[in-house]
Amino acid sequence: MSIRTTLTTSEAGLGSLVAFDVLYVIGLISLGTILLTALFSKRVHRQSTWFMVIISWVLNSASNMLLIGHQKAPLINLNPGLCLTQAVLIDSTPVFCAFCAAVFAMEVYTTILFALRFSSSVPRGYIITMIGIPWLAFAGTIAITANNGLTHQNVIEKYPSGFFCWNAVPNDWRKYLIGGGVAIGILAAIIIEALIIITLRKKWSAIAETASIRRDKPYITVDSIVRMIVFSVGIVVALGLTFIQYLTLPTLNEDTALGLIQASLPCFAALVFGSQKDVLDAWKSVAKRYFGKRPSASTEPVEMWPIRPDEASERGEGGDNIDANSVTPIYAI
């Protein structure tokens, strides 16, 4: 397989390349640590679509790191398979991230609706469907971009900044299709979050009732909603810039700035997701286990990443609209 041998005459400086790589490395390590914490700590409980969001940005970080150490090399010297793989992932992961953000917001919204209207948890079939949508979009985008890259092998080249390889077909319908997928995911997330805010304003008294009944695990908290909205703002900014890249070919300076802004998003996500109290408590527990004083026989053992057990719901008297013991909590993000 061959790739285009022409090389953009200007590339980002070494400092920009290092900053780009360092941001993605930090984001990957941070998000990976948070993901493992949620998987193995009994202190941390999260929705299934929360895991999808983390996984999507882990994949995004990894795909942008494939050329580390080779970003200043002439294109003709790069491994064609590696360059094609990165080009496919660069096109596919933004769609995956956008759809994961949308279904994450959707799970929060449907949890609120089912709690208010039926005093029950969201049916399992709904959750499975929501989980499947981003993966189907991701697989479809990979199939389209991989087929295009294999069919038009001479259009895989380095982006003007040299940050990564990409599919440089100008005015190609596939680019508009992918950009449209990103836009659909972003718009869906924004609309659903607006519906969440409207619902919370109208039904806050009923929702707040569960917080007083289930002080240990209220089914929704203000902190959860604030964090979801803050993170979504970052997604809108970064994925919006990605959408712009599919419509135009920026200049070198514009491309470098766009790349660095996008590279900072995984770090931003790690800050939002990793600053939650239960995550910090889990890390403190492990640090105490390995670096603190050994607990005496009379003290409670310190957590060492046990698999979380099934927990019985705390009994209490429900509010007028919500049976606090029959709904699944929306755990803090």
Q: What integer is the mean pLDDT of 290-303?
A: 56
170-180 mean pLDDT: 75
Residue 165: which H helix or E strand, with range? Answer: strand 165-167
Distance of alpha carbon 112 from alpha carbon 203, whole angstroms: 10
- 195: nearest Cα among 111, 320, 121: 111
Phi, psi of 157 (to 5 degrees): -145, 175
User: Could you read off the pLDDT of 132-142 as tens digits, one per residue?
Assistant: 999 999 999 99
Q: Sorting pLDDT into bands at 50, 70 and 90, what band is 154?
A: confident
From the list 273, 193, 257, the residue with the least C-alpha distance to 225 is 193
Query: Between 26 and 218, where is the model more confident?
Result: 26
Which letter, b or e, does each residue of 22-35 get, where b requires 16 or more Cβ atoms within 10 Å of its Cβ?
A: ebbbbbbebbbebb
Residue appearing with tokens 């700035």: 257
Question: Mean pLDDT in the chain?
Answer: 75
> Tokens representing 166?
């990409």
Q: Locate 112 and state its tokens.
A: 């609120």
CA–CA gap between residue 146 and residue 30 (Å, rounded): 29
Residues of the chain with pLDDT > 90, as a percent, come to: 19
Residue closest to 76 by CA, chosen among 149, 151, 148, 6: 6
Residues 6+ apart with CB under 8 A from 10: 160, 252
121 vs 129, more confident: 129
Q: pTM of the entire structure?
A: 0.77
Please give the Cα distance from 271 to 87 (Å, whole number): 28
Per-residue 3-state assignment (H helix, E strand, C coil) for 97-163: HHHHHHHHHHHHHHHHHHHHHHCCCCCHHHHHHHHHHHHHHHHHHHHHHHHHHHHCHHHEEECCCCC
User: Is the pLDDT higher at 60 or at 275?
Assistant: 60
Number of Cβ within a 10 Å radius of residue 315: 9
- Other beta carbons within 10 Å of 112: 23
Count other C-beta atoms under 10 Å from residue 70's C-beta.
17
Band of the pLDDT at 175, cuts 50, 70, 90? Answer: confident
pLDDT at position 291 is: 80
Q: What is the pLDDT of residue 24?
A: 95
Residue 81, CA distances (Å) to 66, 84, 88 in order = 11, 5, 11
With CA atoms as reference, report the closest residue to 61 among 244, 272, 233, 268.
268
Is there a contact between 125 and 252 (Cβ–Cβ < 8 Å)? no
Point out the least confidently predicted range of 35-39, 100-104, 181-185, 303-307.
Answer: 303-307
Cβ-based burial of 113 (10 A; exposed 0-12, middle 13-18, buried ≥19):
middle
Question: Topology of 16-288 in CATH?
Answer: Rhopdopsin 7-helix transmembrane proteins (1.20.1070)
According to DSSP, the β-strands at 156-158 and 165-167 are antiparallel
**Distance (Å, rounded) from C-alpha 30 to C-alpha 132?**
25
